[in-house]
């Protein structure tokens, strides 16, 4: 299905760029995509890399039907001071910002502007994103479908109530970083055990991929999958005892709670 909408990605940093590249990979026509950047050099880089049209924020607001806001949450108020009053209420605003509720945008946009909150993640770069989508004020099913049309080609999408978005941010938004940290630590453990770094890296990355595919495709609970690896008096249980002794499970509970709390704090600090 060819998109009927023109999308402007406002603030094409890391996340904005992955939306641009993902849309283009999915066949989104270049002439239905606009990009804005704060620095001219960044705009030129994106124009060169993707052949997209880079415009100012005001022109993006005028020409696009869908405004995907991908600036840092701390920059959102300044951006909305600039563009908010110019956004006609029939445009769809999609926020990709962590923490900020749709009410933050609604308060700075003309009455009746539909706002959708989206939390995606960096595996969008390989079309394996987890993207959670929530309707905010004035957003109807048709507009949620537009957001899904944009993000489905980048991976998996899920509709969630907006009240769950800070938790979603803690789990899947930040989630890739936790897995990368684990991989980094396990590769270092391989070094400790005397393996060459490249060998340790290959062993752990393929083990991560295999485990992830089994989690997704086997239909088995993670406990069952772990038990199948854990032989009586074997090697795995010795490692698991150490993980439990070091409070890894408790650390993850605390870590994700801290991420959720930081999302709330970002919203509270946004002016």
Ligand X SMILES: NC(=O)C1=CN([C@@H]2O[C@H](COP(=O)(O)OP(=O)(O)OC[C@H]3O[C@@H](n4cnc5c(N)ncnc54)[C@H](OP(=O)(O)O)[C@@H]3O)[C@@H](O)[C@H]2O)C=CC1
Ligand Y SMILES: O=C(O)[C@@H]1CCC=N1
The option from ligand Y, ligand X, none interacting with 43 (CB < 5 to 8 A, set by class) reads none
Where does the chain have alpha helices with state H?
Answer: 14-25, 40-50, 57-63, 73-83, 102-106, 141-151, 165-168, 175-192, 197-217, 222-229, 235-245, 248-269
Residue 175 binding ligand X, by CB under 6 A: no
**Torsion (CA) 194, 197, 198, 204 in degrees, nearest 10:** 80
d(CA 251, CA 122): 23
Residues in contact with ligand X, total (CB under 6 A)?
27
Is 121 annotated as ligand-binding?
no
Within 7-36, the residues that bind ligand X by CB under 6 A are: 10-11, 13-16, 36
- Residue 108: contacted member of ligand X, ligand Y, none (CB under 5 to 8 Å, by partner type): none
Binding mask of the shown chain, residues 74 to 113, with x at each position contacting ligand X by CB under 6 A: -x--xx----------------xxx---------------
| Binding residues vs ligand Y (CB under 6 A) | 98, 169, 173-174
**Chain residues 207-246 in contact with ligand X, contact rule CB under 6 A:** none
Q: Residue 192 has which token pair? A: 């400790």
Asked if residue 71 belongs to a known ligand binding site, the reply is: yes
70 marked as part of a ligand binding site: yes
Q: Which is nearer to ligand Y, 143 or 174 (CB)?
A: 174
Which of the listed partners (ligand X, ligand Y, none) does 164 bind, with a CB threshold of 5 to 8 Å by partner kind? none
Burial call 134-160: b when 16+ CB within 10 Å, e when fewer: bbbbbbeeebbebbbbbbbbbbebeee
Structure tokens belonging to residue 198? 């490249």
* CA 99 from centroid of its chain's CA atoms: 12
Which spans of this chain sit near ligand X (rule: CB under 6 A)? 10-11, 13-16, 36-39, 42, 57, 70-73, 75, 78-79, 96-98, 119-122, 173
Q: Which residue ranges are tagged as binding site for NADPH?
A: 57
């Amino acid at each position: 299905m060819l998109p009927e909408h023109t999308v402007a990605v406002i603030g094409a940093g890391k996340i904005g760029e992955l939306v641009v590249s993902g849309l283009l990979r999915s066949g989104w026509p270049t002439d239905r995509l606009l990009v804005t950047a704060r620095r001219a050099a960044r705009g030129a880089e994106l124009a060169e890399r993707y052949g997209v049209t880079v415009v100012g924020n005001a022109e993006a607001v005028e020409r696009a039907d869908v405004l995907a806001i991908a600036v840092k949450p701390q920059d959102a108020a300044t951006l909305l001071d600039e563009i908010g009053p110019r956004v006609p209420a029939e445009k769809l605003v999609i926020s990709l910002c962590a923490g900020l509720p749709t009410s933050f945008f609604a308060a700075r946009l003309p009455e009746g502007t539909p706002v959708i909150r989206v939390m995606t993640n960096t595996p969008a770069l390989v079309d394996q994103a987890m993207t959670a989508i929530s309707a905010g004020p004035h957003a109807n099913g048709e507009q949620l479908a537009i957001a899904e049309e944009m993000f489905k080609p980048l991976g998996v999408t899920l509709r969630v109530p907006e009240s769950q978005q800070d938790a979603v941010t803690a789990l899947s938004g930040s989630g890739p970083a936790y897995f990368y940290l684990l991989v980094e630590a396990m590769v270092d453990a391989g070094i400790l055990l005397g393996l060459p770094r490249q060998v340790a890296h290959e062993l752990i990355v393929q083990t991560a991929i295999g485990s992830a595919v089994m989690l997704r495709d086997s239909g088995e609970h993670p406990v069952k999958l772990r038990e199948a690896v854990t032989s009586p008096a074997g090697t795995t249980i010795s490692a698991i005892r150490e993980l439990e002794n070091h409070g890894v499970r408790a650390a993850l509970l605390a870590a994700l709670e801290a991420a959720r709390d930081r999302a709330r704090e970002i919203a509270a600090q946004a002016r």
